[in-house]
């Protein structure tokens, strides 16, 4: 009986270690990085494509995107943007154990990598690189 209890507690602890609070990113960018909201839109779409997110919709104020990994993990995000800032907001998911404001840590890694790629794209644009 004690062995079963210890095994159960160990498994619960391991599962809990993979869940982290859902990260919703708010990012302001330096004025020299972006000339217009169209530049921001272009940088976001390039970063999404680089990370293999599927762009669902592009509008002048936001972008909707989704990603499915190995057919088992799926996330959907909204990226509202302007010429000076963007956000990456959680919309929905499956296979990522989303519950009570927490989600599998891979989701946060995906959106953090996406943020870094958007910033790199903006930097490349400001330097005049393709």
Helices (H), 19-104: 37-50
Q: Kindly indicate the confidence band of residue 37, based on its pLDDT and cuts at 50, 70 and 90.
A: very high
Residue 100 pLDDT > 90, yes or no? yes
Only one residue has tokens 């997110």, namely 53
Rounding to the nearest 10 degrees, give the CA dihedral for residues 54, 55, 56, 60.
Answer: 170
User: What CA–CA distance (Å, rounded) separates 104 from 127?
Assistant: 36
107, 92 Cβ separation under 8 angstroms = no
Between CA 41 and CA 85 the distance in angstroms is 11
User: Strand (E) positions, 54-109?
Assistant: 54-58, 62-69, 73-80, 85-94, 102-104
Per-residue pLDDT tens over the stretch 51-97 = 999 999 999 999 999 999 999 999 999 999 999 999 999 999 999 99
Please provide the CATH number assigned to the domain covering 2-126: 3.30.310.80
* Model confidence, pTM: 0.83
pLDDT given at position 58 = 97
């Amino acid at each position: 009986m004690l062995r079963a209890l210890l095994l159960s507690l160990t498994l619960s602890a391991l599962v809990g270690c993979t869940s982290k609070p859902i990260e919703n990113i708010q990012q302001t960018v330096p004025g020299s990085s972006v000339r217009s909201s169209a530049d921001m839109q272009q940088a976001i779409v390039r970063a999404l494509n680089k990370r293999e997110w599927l762009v669902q919709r592009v509008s002048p104020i936001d972008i909707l995107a989704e990603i499915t990994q190995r057919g088992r993990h799926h996330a959907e995000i909204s990226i509202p943007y302007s010429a000076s800032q963007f956000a990456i907001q959680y919309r929905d998911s499956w296979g990522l154990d989303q519950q009570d404001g927490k989600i599998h840590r891979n989701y946060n890694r995906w959106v953090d990598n996406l943020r870094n790629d958007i910033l790199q794209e903006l930097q490349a644009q400001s330097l005049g690189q393709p």
